[in-house]
């Protein structure tokens, strides 16, 4: 492949060329290439430079940088999906390769399904068996700790390889949470819960979304806005017919925040991924395809273990909302109206190429449909109408959108929405409420769909119960359990 043109079918090899972090500027360069083609340089900028890093911290930053380089490569790899992968300049062990294979194969699951590609067996990261046994990139200084996550379930897809490469040092990180904020309801629920539990936090986000900034500023907490620029050639490749589609963006954001946590001396990276995120769309003839795979529990477990084992033993990565369903998160959000005029879960707000919606809620996408439906059982109707500016459940044109959420005559949309059983239970609850039951979509549900459903599956209460599979540190969970149970 040359500079002149991009032909996805001719590409043989995807290369991780090099990565570099400059502590004086806070800028990371992540460099990739296809064959001997042009360098594709992604730039991540972490505010707060210059960073004074003692040797043990600098080594951990280098390990986090390589992890980010490897994970963020998925945006470029997908453009050609070539048969070979090469890593120039450093080596990885088999545990790291196993994690990456999971991230690429599952995180590109929707991409592969939509493009008719088979990724299983195709994605192989080269492994060096001659690595030192403790750390893939040379041993760090400082006290080494075992990576057991006390008492919690830390089995992971990468566990088969746990004997190799684990044993990162304890860095003595400050007790402080870097909480990812996405502008929607989920992270706001986490931020308020951590605040109530007295845990110090900085709210952090990636990208230039004004909506996220406004929500972050509204928390009144310290903020950290991290810049990210994709290599510009990717968009040109897309114009020239590159493979394109969904990527596991949460995995990339997670790796960026792990790097930022080391730079800003925080011992926790907190995401807000509910347990419903672990369930994908059931596609006839294909099986499960999960749009939000890197928001799921399998990713969280594998990534958290990798960070503790190979980056810093005292750096926790977890999702505070893992025990909650989407409906349980909606119930928590309803308790506080502080963000009503600022938040949005509608993904049309978050394009990196600059489109800006006129309204915070487009009102026609699966996320708008789902968030409206999930909040409706828990919010007074006038408050919900003020948030959305209209009643999506009284618009007959929206029936097909809600049917998809109910998994009625179709599969769950490829979006960040709850499980079909959550949507059905929410709709069934509304069909019993005088203020909702006459609205067009609810009325039609009660008439046509409800009679076909088993009553036992429609109760809200079981869906609000907390799940005990999570990776929340016990000292945090002990302070929050009662709040989330109510």
352 binds, among ligand ATP, ligand LMILMEGD, none (CB under 5 to 8 A by kind): ligand LMILMEGD
Q: How far apart are CA 120 and CA 118, in angstroms?
A: 6
CB of 348 to ligand ATP, least distance (A): 12
293 binds, among ligand LMILMEGD, ligand ATP, none (CB under 5 to 8 A by kind): ligand LMILMEGD
- Quick check: 324 and 275 in contact, CB under 8 A? yes
289 φ/ψ sector (left φ>0, alpha ψ -120 to 50, else beta)? beta
- Quick check: 141 and 59 in contact, CB under 8 A? yes
Half-sphere exposure at residue 251, Cβ-oriented, CA atoms within 13 angstroms: 34
CB of 108 to ligand LMILMEGD, least distance (A): 10
180 binds, among ligand ATP, ligand LMILMEGD, none (CB under 5 to 8 A by kind): ligand ATP
Among all chains, which residue has been given the structure tokens 């042009």? 38
CB of 303 to ligand ATP, least distance (A): 13
Binding-site size, ligand ATP (CB under 6 A): 20
3-state SS class at 55: helix
- Sorted by sequence, the CB contacts under 8 Å of residue 434 that are 6+ apart come out as none
207 binds, among ligand LMILMEGD, ligand ATP, none (CB under 5 to 8 A by kind): ligand ATP
Question: Pick from 4, 353, 461, 482: which binds ligand LMILMEGD (CB under 6 A)?
Answer: 353
478 φ/ψ sector (left φ>0, alpha ψ -120 to 50, else beta)? alpha
186 binds, among ligand ATP, ligand LMILMEGD, none (CB under 5 to 8 A by kind): ligand ATP
Nearer to ligand ATP (CB atom), residue 33 or residue 74: 74
User: What separation in angstroms does the CA of 40 have from each of 45, 84, 153, 240, 460?
Assistant: 16, 17, 38, 16, 49
- Sorted by sequence, the CB contacts under 8 Å of residue 90 that are 6+ apart come out as 66, 136, 137
Where in 270-329 is the site for ligand LMILMEGD (CB under 6 A)? 291-295
**Does position 345 bind ligand LMILMEGD by CB under 6 A?**
no
Q: How far apart are CA 442 and CA 424, in angstroms?
A: 11
Phi, psi for residue 434 in degrees, rounded to 5: -55, -35
H or E stretch covering 197: none
Q: What is the token pair recorded at 256? A: 């960026």
Pattern 403-442, ligand LMILMEGD, x by CB under 6 A: -------------x--------------------------
Question: Pick from 350, 364, 440, 473: which binds ligand LMILMEGD (CB under 6 A)?
Answer: 350
CB of 57 to ligand ATP, least distance (A): 23
Q: How far apart are CA 351 and CA 79, in angstroms?
A: 19
Pattern 386-425, ligand ATP, x by CB under 6 A: ------------------------------x---------
Pattern 206-245, ligand LMILMEGD, x by CB under 6 A: ------------------------x-------x-----xx
CB-nearest residue to ligand LMILMEGD: 416
What is the SS3 string spanning 127-180?
CCCCCCCCCCCCCCCCCECCCCCCCCCCCCHHHHHCCCCCCCECCCCCCCEEEE
- Quick check: 230 and 48 in contact, CB under 8 A? no
Q: How far apart are CA 147 and CA 184, in angstroms?
A: 33
187 binds, among ligand LMILMEGD, ligand ATP, none (CB under 5 to 8 A by kind): ligand ATP
273 binds, among ligand ATP, ligand LMILMEGD, none (CB under 5 to 8 A by kind): ligand ATP
Where in 179-238 is the site for ligand ATP (CB under 6 A)? 180-187, 205-207, 212
Nearer to ligand ATP (CB atom), residue 87 or residue 180: 180
Using the contact rule CB under 6 A, the part of the chain among 45-53, 321-329, 351-359, 403-411 near ligand LMILMEGD is 351-359
User: Is residue 160 classed exposed, middle or buried when 0-12, 13-18 and 19+ CB atoms within 10 A define those classes?
Assistant: exposed
181 binds, among ligand ATP, ligand LMILMEGD, none (CB under 5 to 8 A by kind): ligand ATP
**Does position 253 bind ligand ATP by CB under 6 A?**
yes
Q: How far apart are CA 107 and CA 110, in angstroms?
A: 8
List contacts with ligand ATP (CB under 6 A): 180-187, 205-207, 212, 250, 253, 271-273, 295, 345, 416
Query: Which residues make up the interface to ligand LMILMEGD (CB under 6 A)?
Result: 75, 230, 238, 244-250, 252, 291-295, 347, 350-353, 416
């Amino acid at each position: 492949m040359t500079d002149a043109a991009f032909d996805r079918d001719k590409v043989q090899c995807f290369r991780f060329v090099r990565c570099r972090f400059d502590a004086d500027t806070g800028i990371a360069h992540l460099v990739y290439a296809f064959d001997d083609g042009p360098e594709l340089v992604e730039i991540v900028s972490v505010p707060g430079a210059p960073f004074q890093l003692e040797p043990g911290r600098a080594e951990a930053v280098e390990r986090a940088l390589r992890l980010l380089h490897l994970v963020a490569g998925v945006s470029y790899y997908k453009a050609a999906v070539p048969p070979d992968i090469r890593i120039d300049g450093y080596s990885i062990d088999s545990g790291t390769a196993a994690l990456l294979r999971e991230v690429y194969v599952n995180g590109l699951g929707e991409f592969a399904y939509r493009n008719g590609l088979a990724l299983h067996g195709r994605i192989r990261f080269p492994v060096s068996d001659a690595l030192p046994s403790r750390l893939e990139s040379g041993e760090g200084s400082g006290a080494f700790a075992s990576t057991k996550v006390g008492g919690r379930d830390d089995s992971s897809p990468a566990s088969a390889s746990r004997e190799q490469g684990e044993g990162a040092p304890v860095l003595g990180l400050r007790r402080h949470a870097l909480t990812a904020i996405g502008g929607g309801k989920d992270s706001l629920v986490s931020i308020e819960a951590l605040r109530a539990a007295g845990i110090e936090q900085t709210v952090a986000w990636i990208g230039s979304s004004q909506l996220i900034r406004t929500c972050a500023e509204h928390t009144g907490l310290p903020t950290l806005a991290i810049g990210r620029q994709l290599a510009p050639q990717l968009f040109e490749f897309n114009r020239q017919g590159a493979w394109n589609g969904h990527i596991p963006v949460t995995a990339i954001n997670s790796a960026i925040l792990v790097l930022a946590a080391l730079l800003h001396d925080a011992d926790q990276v907190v995401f807000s991924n509910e347990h419903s995120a672990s369930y994908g769309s059931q596609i006839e003839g294909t099986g499960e395809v999960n749009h939000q795979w890197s928001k799921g529990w399998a990713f969280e477990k594998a990534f958290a273990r990798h960070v503790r084992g190979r980056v810093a033993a005292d750096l926790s990565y977890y999702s505070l909302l893992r025990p909650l369903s989407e409906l349980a998160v909606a119930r928590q959000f309803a308790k506080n109206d502080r963000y009503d005029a600022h938040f949005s879960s509608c993904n049309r707000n978050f394009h990196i190429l600059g489109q800006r919606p006129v309204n915070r809620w487009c009102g026609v996408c699966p996320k708008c449909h789902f968030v409206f439906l999930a909040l409706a059982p828990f919010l007074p109707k006038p408050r919900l109408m003020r948030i959305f500016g209209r009643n999506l459940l009284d618009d007959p044109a929206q029936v097909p959108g809600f049917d998809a959420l109910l998994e009625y005559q179709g599969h769950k949309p490829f979006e960040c929405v709850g499980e079909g059983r959550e949507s059905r239970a929410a709709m069934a609850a509304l069909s019993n409420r005088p203020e909702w039951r006459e609205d067009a979509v609810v009325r039609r549900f009660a008439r046509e769909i409800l009679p076909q459903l088993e009553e036992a599956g429609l109760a809200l209460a079981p869906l609000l119960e907390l799940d005990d599979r999570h990776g929340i540190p016990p000292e945090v969970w002990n302070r929050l359990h009662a709040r989330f149970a109510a």
